[in-house]
Amino acid sequence: MGTAGDLRCAAEERLTRRKQRAFDNPAMSTVAVIEDDIPTSNQLRGWIEAARPGIVVHQWFNRDDAEAALAREHYDVVVLDIELGRERHAGVAIINTINKQRGTPVLVVSAMPAAIYRSIMKALDAWDYLQKTTFEEADFIDTFLEILRAARSAPATAGGAAPANGAELLLDPLRQSSPIWRGQRVNLPLTAQRILAALHARRGEVVSYEDLFQVVKSGRNRDNIRKHVSTIRDAFREIDPAFDGIENVPMRGFRWR
């Protein structure tokens, strides 16, 4: 059995051959798979190639190489993991890059818990989210082909789409950049941003304390969550004294109005 270096070299050789085929046939669909685990990357590539013979799949294994490729290549669909190597949320940064450049459809395949991350990926305008070990090949292929057909029939526009709901709040969940409320930046620490993203993604619904525990890395207790929510409210009220967008639901959790 080959070493990780041998497997990576072999993957790079396959990538070179596929790029040449794409050059020879510009109408061919091209997909990027961004996944640091080589066996998983190869499995996803195999499923995609079996689902659509003749498709070109580029494999990238880290954030830097993926972002460089996205800047120079046109992809019909991007399949990516959230966690790449030691970067826990590298995939989130890549999605933000995609949205700023072309708005290419993204299918997220990750081991992160779907209960929280599916909503967060929706807030980031990812097309769908599949949690690893919870889906079969047929589920992946059905989802992938649906996204590919939609992408080919309605090409994405540069710069990403405008918020569909015309919301006053604009944010990049899990990314270290300030949310925007009514045109002004809201100064929040990263954990508070994550809680805000979880509440906003499920606006109108009660988000339980248990769900919010999955967003924080430490201090998974109700008092700590309440402190973070208080921080969020204070930050909003610095720029909007009448802000009352987060409702406390006694004994249950919080709701974005």
The answer to whether residue 38 is domain-embedded is yes
For residues 117 and 178, membership in a common domain is answered with no
Q: What percent of the chain has pLDDT over 70?
A: 81
> What is the predicted pLDDT for the residue at 185?
81
Contact (CB, 8 A) for 201 and 119: yes
- Of 99, 123, 153, which marks where a domain is finished? 153
181 and 146 co-located in one domain: no
Q: Report the 10 Å Cβ neighbour count for 4.
A: 8
Whether residues 173 and 221 share a domain: the answer is yes
Phi, psi of 203 (to 5 degrees): -55, 140
75 and 131 fall within a common domain: yes
- Check whether residue 143 and residue 193 sit in a common domain: no
Quick one: pLDDT at residue 17?
Answer: 54
Question: CATH number, domain at 241?
Answer: 1.10.10.10
Q: What is the pLDDT of residues 185-222, one digit of tens each?
A: 888 887 888 899 889 888 899 999 999 998 887 888 99
What is the per-residue pLDDT for 216? 85
Asked if residue 159 belongs to a domain, the reply is no
Instruction: Mark which of 96, 124, 153 sits at the end of a domain.
Output: 153
Taking the whole predicted model, whether its pTM rises above 0.75 is answered as no
Number of domains in the chain: 2
22 and 142 in a single domain? The answer is yes
**84 and 137 fall within a common domain:** yes
pLDDT band at residue 156 using 50, 70 and 90 as cut-offs: very low
CA gap 204, 219 in Å, rounded: 26
Looking at the fold, whether 97 and 198 belong to one and the same domain comes out as no
The answer to whether the beta carbons of residues 135 and 107 sit under 8 Å apart is no
- Which residue would you say has higher pLDDT here, 179 or 74? 74
Report yes or no: 143 and 131 within 8 Å, Cβ to Cβ: no
Which residue range(s) make up the domain with 138?
A: 4-153
Neighbours of 197 (CB within 10 A): 23
Say if residue 164 is exposed, middle or buried (CB neighbours under 10 Å; 0-12, 13-18, 19+).
exposed
Long-range contacts from 208-217, C-beta under 8 angstroms, 24+ separation: 208/252, 208/253, 209/252, 209/253, 211/115, 211/116, 211/253, 212/253, 212/254, 214/113, 214/115, 214/116, 215/116, 215/191, 216/191, 217/191
Is 147 found in the same domain as 197?
Answer: no
The amino acid present at 199, given as its one-letter code, is L
Share of the chain above pLDDT 90, in %: 45
Taking 60 as the threshold, does the pLDDT of residue 117 lie above it?
yes
- Look at the block and give the residue holding tokens 């990538």: 15
Q: Are 13 and 100 found together in one domain?
A: yes
If asked whether residues 70 and 25 sit together in one domain, one would say yes
CATH code where residue 112 lies:
3.40.50.2300
